[in-house]
Amino acid sequence: MEKTLVFGHKNPDTDTICSALAYANLKAKLGVHAEAARLGEVNKETQFALDYFQVEAPVFIEAVPEDVKDVILVDHNEFQQSVSNIKDVRITEVIDHHRVSNFETKEPLYFRAEPVGCTATILNKLYKENGVAITKEIAGLLLSAIISDSLLLKSPTCTQEDIDAAHELAKIAGVDLDKYGLDMLQAGADLSDKSAQELITMDAKEFAMGNAKVEIAQVNTVDASKVYELQSELEEEMDKAINDKGLDLFLFVVTDILNNDSEVFARGTGKDKVEEAFGASLDSNNRALLKGVVSRKKQIVTALTDAFTK
């Protein structure tokens, strides 16, 4: 049987890595020759989860290898967030919880997107729908994904389904949800060894908004002021990315996981759109504190898309 690769988005986060592993596991149990892959480095938060549940990271790929024809996308659908040669392969399935955009297929496929906080919540359902029991390891991975995407069930993207799934999975995984969750988030919030270049790329996603090209990078921290000690280096790297990729806006989002706020830093000709989108003024450092804003998807992309398209 030909191999099907299962992978999430570039600059993988915990949901992307864990959902790729879990869905490859489910597909394998259903008789498909499926293998998980990743499009980038495993971050510290995800590594904490993999270590805790003793699961190996998926294999790294730059592009889909020539001998693989079929792929399954998890946790994303927009082609610019996917593998470079996505248009040359057949997408047989998508499991996702994002908006649908810049995506198309030639043939019918299984496309399952739900407006929940995390891909893993949908996968938890798919295990049940297919009558496959979830092991302790897989439960741990799915739980970690939900904790990550929902900032320990506090993000506005978090739904009752995510909360129920998290509690269910914590039981199977044999961990205390709050204790494990905070430990995992804090492992990811340790940015002390990151260069400015790493900070603006480790969790960056590119979006088309009207005719504008917008890149939004996000990091979690317990102390935003520490991150902004690198203000001038960050500015330099962001301007470089703007030039290299022809961006209209680069927005760097530093999210405080204890206070659930974000301090954003905007560069590019489109930075007035940030003020417009959030009714906030950028200070002399081009930064603004957005109270209660933690979700790129639900609070930032939607508001910015409105500002760029109206």
Q: Total binding residues for a second copy by CB under 8 A?
A: 25
- Dmax (CA) of the chain: 59
User: Looking at 2, 66, 67, 104, which residue binds a second copy (CB under 8 A)?
Assistant: 104
Task: Please provide residue 307's backbone torsions phi and psi, each rounded to the nearest 5 degrees.
Answer: -65, -35
Q: Total binding residues for Mn ion by CB under 5 A?
A: 4
Reference 36, options 18, 14, 62; nearest CA is: 18
| C-alpha count within 13 angstroms, C-beta hemisphere, residue 251 | 30
Residue 15, contacted partner among a second copy, Mn ion, none, CB below 5-8 A by kind: Mn ion
**Cβ atoms of 261 and 294 closer than 8 Å:** yes
Residue 43 engages a second copy in binding (rule: CB under 8 A): no
- Determine if residue 9 is labeled as part of a ligand binding site: yes
Smaller CB separation from Mn ion, 160 or 192:
160
Residue 115 engages a second copy in binding (rule: CB under 8 A): yes
Task: Please provide residue 7's backbone torsions phi and psi, each rounded to the nearest 5 degrees.
Answer: -150, 160
Residue 72 is inside which H or E element, if any? strand 70-74
The piece of 20-28, 111-119, 141-149, 273-281 that touches a second copy (CB under 8 A) is 111-119
What's the CA dihedral at 110, 112, 113, 117 to 10 degrees? -140
Reference 150, options 22, 257, 227; nearest CA is: 257
- Determine if residue 75 is labeled as part of a ligand binding site: yes
Residue 30 engages a second copy in binding (rule: CB under 8 A): no
Residue 302, contacted partner among Mn ion, a second copy, none, CB below 5-8 A by kind: a second copy
Smaller CB separation from a second copy, 114 or 275:
114
User: Looking at 110, 259, 269, 272, which residue binds a second copy (CB under 8 A)?
Assistant: 110
What's the CA dihedral at 301, 302, 306, 307 to 10 degrees? -40
Residue 297 engages a second copy in binding (rule: CB under 8 A): yes
Residues 119-148 that bind a second copy (CB under 8 A): 129
Residue 215 engages Mn ion in binding (rule: CB under 5 A): no
Output the CA torsion sign for 145, 146, 149, 151: negative
Residue 41, contacted partner among a second copy, Mn ion, none, CB below 5-8 A by kind: none
N-terminal to C-terminal alpha carbon distance within the chain: 49
Residue 292 engages a second copy in binding (rule: CB under 8 A): no
Residue 79 engages a second copy in binding (rule: CB under 8 A): no
Q: Exposed, middle or buried by CB within 10 Å (0-12, 13-18, 19+), for 15?
A: buried
Over the window 83 to 102, marking each residue x when it contacts a second copy by CB under 8 A and - when it does not, the resulting string is --------------xxxxxx
Residues 1-60 that bind Mn ion (CB under 5 A): 15
**Cβ atoms of 15 and 59 closer than 8 Å:** no
Tokens of 304: 């910015």
Tokens of 189: 């919030």
The piece of 30-38, 73-81, 101-109, 261-269 that touches Mn ion (CB under 5 A) is 73-81
Over the window 230 to 249, marking each residue x when it contacts Mn ion by CB under 5 A and - when it does not, the resulting string is --------------------
> At 210, is the secondary structure helix, strand, or coil?
coil
> Which positions make up the binding site for Mn(2+)?
9, 13, 15, 75, 97, 149
> Which positions make up the binding site?
9, 13, 15, 75, 97, 149
- Residue ranges that bind Mn ion, judged by CB under 5 A: 15, 75, 119, 149
